[in-house]
Amino acid sequence: MFQDEKSQPAFAQTMSRLVVVGNGMAPGRMLEHLLQEAPGRYQITIFNAEPRVNYDRIMLSPVLSGEKDYEQIVIHGDGWYIKNDITLYKGHKIVAIDRAAKTVTSDHGVTEPYDKLVIATGSTPIILPVPGHDLAGVLTFRDLDDVNAMLLAAQSRARAIVIGGGLLGLEAAAGLKSHGMDVTVLHLMPTLMERQLDPAAGYLLQQAVEARGIKIFTQANTKAIHGTGKVEALELADGTIIPATLVVMAAGIRPNAALAKRAGLDVNRGILVDAHMQTSDPDIFALGECAEVGGHTYGLVAPLYEMARVLAARLAGREAPGFVHNDTPTKLKVTGIDLFSVGDFADGEDRQEIVLRHASAGIYKRLVIKENRIIGTVLFGETGDGAWFADLKKKSVDISEMRETLIFGQAYQGGAPLDPTAAVAALPDDAEICGCNGVCKSQITGAIVEKSLTSLDDVRAHTKASASCGSCTGLVEQLLKLSLGESYNPAAVQPMCGCTDLGHDDVRRLIRAKGLKTIPALMQELEWKTSCGCAKCRPALNYYLVCEWPGEYADDYQSRFINERAHANIQKDGTYSVVPRMWGGVTSAAELRAIADVVDKFAIPTVKVTGGQRIDMLGVKKEDLPAVWADLGKAGFVSGHAYAKGIRTVKTCVGSEWCRFGTQDSTGLGIRIEKFMWGSWTPAKVKMAVSGCPRNCAESTCKDVGVICVDSGYEIHFAGAAGLDIKGTEVLGLVRTEGEALEVIVALVQMYREQARYLERIYKWTKRVGIAEIRRQALEDTGKRKAYFDRFVFSQQFAQVDPWSERVSRKHKHEFKPMAVLDFVAAE
C-alpha cells in the first residue's frame, strides 16, 4: 500500500495529474465513476488527513453501537488503490495550495503538482465555546477516531452527556447506551430533530428514546463544563448540575472551507461552486460537505453522491446535466426506531395536511399538501411508503384523485389494496430506493436480470442498495420477489428455527451490538419463544458466541451435536468411528503400531484409510471411547476432528521432496497449515488440500480451500465441493511465498468464520457474499487481511481443541499453537 509513500506508474507522463484533497465518501464515489468513464485519463493522487483508507462514515453509528466493526465499513481497501494505480498519502493534511504554480503541500512537507484539483475537505463539528469545552473527556462525533475514543470511554460504564438531539446526537446516545453507560441528551429546542420532524413526531421520538433508558432534557442550554483536568459535570443555564465523565458535542457541523479561503477561492458558508462543481478557479473543483452550490450546503450522503456523479462526468470530458437541489429524506440509524421525513412541513395558510395516528401502535403519519401536491412528509413507526411519498413530491404529482386514500399508502390506491410486491411494481423506474447510495429502482431490477442475482446479498454486492443503513431492505427484497417470482427464496430473512423470528445474520449482529455472552442472556434479550431453544438453534448460538467472544464465552459442549459431544462419528449400529489426526497425511511406524495395538486391544472390527489420508477405526463402543483416546494420546495422537464443524484435514501429495514434477514442498506446507489451524471451530466442516504441481494429485480443486503449487509460487483456491453438490474451486489469487500463502488462507477462513451462517459451507457463503468481495478482503487489502489473521491467532489461544483429556489437550495446544505462530513470524 502507498502509505505515506509516493508511487507513480511508468506511463504517468502521458496522463493529466489529478490531485484530490480528502478521501471521504464523496471523492471516493467520484473516483469510482471517473475510473469507469475515463480509465487511464488521469494520474491520481489523494491526500487524506486521516491515517486510513476510505470508509463509510454514515455507518459510524453502527460501529459505535457494536453492530459493525471498522473492517465492515471500509469502502476502498488498500488493494483498490493499488489496482487503480492511485497514490494515497495517509495522514497528510494539505496546508497550502499554490494556484500560480499549481501545487499542493502537505503538513509533512510533500508537494505535489496538479492539472486538476478536487477539494473535498468535508466539514468540522461545531464546538460550543463554553467554559470547559477543552477538558479531557469532551469529544465530537465525526470520524473513526471520535468513535474509538467514545468506545474507550464507554468501558468505564459511567455517565455520558450528549449535547444535541439531532441525528448524530441521538445515534451517539444510543451507541453509548448499548455499552452500558448512563446517557443524558441535552437539546436546545423544545422537541428533538426539529429540523427534520414536526412537534408530534418529535414527541414520539423522545418517548422511543427514553424507553431505551436514555434521559432527555429539551430546552436545555449548556452554561459550562466542570472538572479538574477532565470532565466531572455539566452545568445548565438554569443552574442544574449533571455529573458526567464524558461529554459528546453533536450540535451541528460547518463546511471546512478554510483551505480554499486561504488559496483565494470564493467562499461563502462553503466553497462556492457552480452546477458542475467548479470553483472560481477553472482548474479547481470542490464537492461534498465543504461545497456550497446554489446557496445550499449538504450533510446527507445522497446529494454528495449526486455531486460526485456530476464532477466525474466533468473530469471525464463528458457533457452531462449539472447538480440540481432536491430535498433528501432523513432516516435515523437507531435499531428499532422507524423514522422518515422529507421536504417542508411547516404550517401555513396556503397548505393543508393529512394526518393518521395509531396511538397503541406508536404510528404517526403526516402529509403536507400545497396546490394538490405533496411538499412534505413525516412518518414515524411505519415508514414503508416513504419512497413512494418522496417520489410523488419529487415529481410534483397531482394527488387530487387519490386524496381520500393517500395517507394509507401506495397499496391502497386504485381500489382494492395491493400486496407489497404489486405496490413496489407500481413505482416508476427512476424512483429512488436506496437514498444512502443513490440507487434507483431500474438499477436494481436491471442488475438482478443482467447479473442473475438471486439474493439480497447479491444485490448489495453489485448495486450497494441496502448495504449501508439497511432501511431500504424491505423494498429491495420486494424488487427481488418481483423480478424472480416464485424462484426467489429469501433465506437471509428466514428465522433460524421456530424458537425465534430472527434470522442468522440478525442474531449475530445483535450478539455483538448488545454484548450478549451467554445463551440464557441471549434468549432473554432476543425474546426466544422457548425456554431453552432446540437442537437446531442451540448449536448455532453456541458457535456464534464462541466466535464472537473468544476467551470470554465458555464453549457449551451440551449445545453441540452428538458427534462433537462424543468426539467420534456415530454409525448406524450405534457404535462410533475414531479418526486420529495424521498431519498432512504423514505417519510413522510408531504411529501405525499404536493404531494396530488399539485395534487389537478393543477388538475394533473395521480399519479403513479415509479420503483425507488418515486411518479410520470403525465399530468402537461408546463406553470404550475414553480408553481408546487415552491409548492413542500416549502415542502422541490428537483428534482428527472428523466429526467437527471445524478444520478437518489438509490432504497433500509428496511434492518437491520426492516427486519429479513437484514445484514446491506441498507436504511441508500442508502440515504447517494443519498444525497452525488445528482445533478451529467453523460454521461447517472445512477440508483443505495442497498439491505440489498443477497435476493436482491432492485434488485441491474440489476442496473448501486448496493450494496448487506452481513455479512462481502458490495459487490459492477456495469454495469447492465434492459431496451432495459437485463444484470446482474458484481461484482467489497467486502469492509468492509460503508465509504469505499461510496468511491468506488463515484470513480467508477467519473471514468465513465471522460472516457465514451456521452449517453454511464455504461455497454457499461465497455465492452469497461474492468472489470479488472475498478476494478484496482476504487477499488484496493487506491491512484487512492482517486484521483477520491476527483475530484468528487471538482466538486460537482459547481454542478447546481436544476432547478426551484436559492434560492431553493442554499438552498439544501448547506444543503446536505457539510453535506454529513463531514459525510463521520467523519465516517472514
pLDDT digits (tens, 9 = 90+) for 11-62: 444 689 999 999 999 999 999 999 999 999 999 999 999 999 999 888 898 8
For the chain, the average pLDDT equals: 86
The sign of the torsion formed by the CA atoms of 625, 626, 627, 633 equals: positive
Task: Examine residue 90 and state whether it is found in any structural domain, yes or no.
Answer: yes
pLDDT of residue 711 exceeding 60, the answer is yes
pLDDT of residue 805 exceeding 50, the answer is no
Task: Examine residue 815 and state whether it is found in any structural domain, yes or no.
Answer: no
Q: Do 568 and 555 share a domain, yes or no?
A: no
Task: Examine residue 357 and state whether it is found in any structural domain, yes or no.
Answer: no
Q: Do 756 and 674 share a domain, yes or no?
A: yes
Q: Do 42 and 145 share a domain, yes or no?
A: no
pLDDT of residue 231 exceeding 70, the answer is yes
Q: According to the model, what pLDDT value does residue 826 have?
A: 30
CA triplet 425, 428, 433: central angle to 5 degrees? 80
Summarised one tens digit per residue, pLDDT across range 543-557 is 999 888 888 888 887
Q: How far, in Å, CA of 425 to CA of 483, rounded?
A: 9
Q: Do 115 and 261 share a domain, yes or no?
A: yes
Q: According to the model, what pLDDT value does residue 555 have?
A: 81
Task: Examine residue 748 and state whether it is found in any structural domain, yes or no.
Answer: yes
CATH code where residue 768 lies: 3.30.413.10
Q: According to the model, what pLDDT value does residue 335 have?
A: 65
Q: According to the model, what pLDDT value does residue 14 have?
A: 62
Task: Examine residue 228 and state whether it is found in any structural domain, yes or no.
Answer: yes
pLDDT of residue 813 exceeding 70, the answer is no
Summarised one tens digit per residue, pLDDT across range 635-684 is 888 888 888 888 889 999 988 888 888 999 999 999 999 999 888 889 99
**179: phi then psi, degrees, rounded to nearest 5:** -95, 15
Q: How far, in Å, CA of 221 to CA of 176, rounded?
A: 22
Q: How far, in Å, CA of 22 to CA of 16, rounded?
A: 19
Q: What is the pTM of this model?
A: 0.64
Q: According to the model, what pLDDT value does residue 806 have?
A: 35
Q: How far, in Å, CA of 707 to CA of 690, rounded?
A: 5
- Residue 343, strand partner residues: 376
Q: According to the model, what pLDDT value does residue 503 have?
A: 84
Q: Do 240 and 265 share a domain, yes or no?
A: no
Task: Examine residue 299 and state whether it is found in any structural domain, yes or no.
Answer: yes
Q: b or e along 31-52 (b: 16 or more beta carbons within 10 Å of the residue's beta carbon)?
A: bbbbbebbeeebbbbbbbbbeb
Task: Examine residue 693 and state whether it is found in any structural domain, yes or no.
Answer: yes
Summarised one tens digit per residue, pLDDT across range 285-340 is 999 999 999 999 998 888 999 999 999 999 999 988 999 998 888 877 776 788 88
CB 539 within 8 A of CB 561: yes
How is residue 231 written as a grid cell? 470532565
CB 283 within 8 A of CB 117: yes
CA torsion 811→817→818→820, rounded to 10°? 130
* pLDDT, average across residues 759-771: 89
* pLDDT, average across residues 262-276: 96
pLDDT band for 804, please (50, 70, 90 cuts): very low
Q: How many CB atoms lie within 10 A of CB 821?
A: 14
Helix (H, G, I), strand (E, B) or coil at 349: coil
Q: According to the model, what pLDDT value does residue 419 have?
A: 58
How is residue 32 written as a grid cell? 469510482
Q: How far, in Å, CA of 789 to CA of 777, rounded?
A: 11
Min mean pLDDT across 67-76, 553-562, 623-632 is at 553-562
Integer angstrom CA distances of residue 81 from 7, 77, 335, 783, 803: 11, 7, 33, 13, 46
Higher-confidence residue: 431 or 103?
103
702 belongs to an annotated ligand binding site: no
Summarised one tens digit per residue, pLDDT across range 100-114 is 999 999 999 999 999
Summarised one tens digit per residue, pLDDT across range 176-230 is 998 889 999 999 999 999 888 888 888 999 999 998 899 999 999 999 999 999 9
Domain boundary among 580, 615, 643: 643
How is residue 641 written as a grid cell? 476432528
Q: According to the model, what pLDDT value does residue 6 have?
A: 43
Domain boundary among 560, 583, 604: 560
Q: Domain residues for 527?
A: 504-560
pLDDT of residue 819 exceeding 70, the answer is no
Summarised one tens digit per residue, pLDDT across range 63-97 is 898 878 888 888 898 889 998 999 999 999 999 99
CATH code where residue 201 lies: 3.50.50.60
pLDDT band for 8, please (50, 70, 90 cuts): very low
Domain boundary among 275, 295, 315: 315
Q: Do 17 and 116 share a domain, yes or no?
A: yes
Q: Do 94 and 143 share a domain, yes or no?
A: no
697 belongs to an annotated ligand binding site: yes
Q: How many CB atoms lie within 10 A of CB 794?
A: 12
Q: Do 238 and 263 share a domain, yes or no?
A: no
pLDDT band for 493, please (50, 70, 90 cuts): low
709 belongs to an annotated ligand binding site: no
| Maximum pairwise Cα distance, the chain | 97
pLDDT band for 423, please (50, 70, 90 cuts): low
* pLDDT, average across residues 364-380: 92
Amino acid at position 482, single letter: L
Q: According to the model, what pLDDT value does residue 13 have?
A: 46
Q: Do 38 and 90 share a domain, yes or no?
A: yes
CA 744 to chain centre: 19
CB 748 within 8 A of CB 774: yes
Task: Examine residue 243 and state whether it is found in any structural domain, yes or no.
Answer: yes
Q: How far, in Å, CA of 231 to CA of 245, rounded?
A: 5
Q: According to the model, what pLDDT value does residue 799 have?
A: 65
CA neighbor of 118 nearest in space, from 219, 49, 220, 31: 31
693 belongs to an annotated ligand binding site: yes
How is residue 178 written as a grid cell? 448499548
Q: Do 518 and 546 share a domain, yes or no?
A: yes
CA neighbor of 594 nearest in space, from 631, 640, 642: 631
Percent of the chain with pLDDT over 90: 48
Most trustworthy range by pLDDT among 306-320, 341-355, 718-732: 306-320
Integer angstrom CA distances of residue 226 from 121, 159, 221, 242: 33, 14, 15, 10
In the chain, the number of structural domains is 5
Q: Do 247 and 278 share a domain, yes or no?
A: no
Q: Do 599 and 674 share a domain, yes or no?
A: no
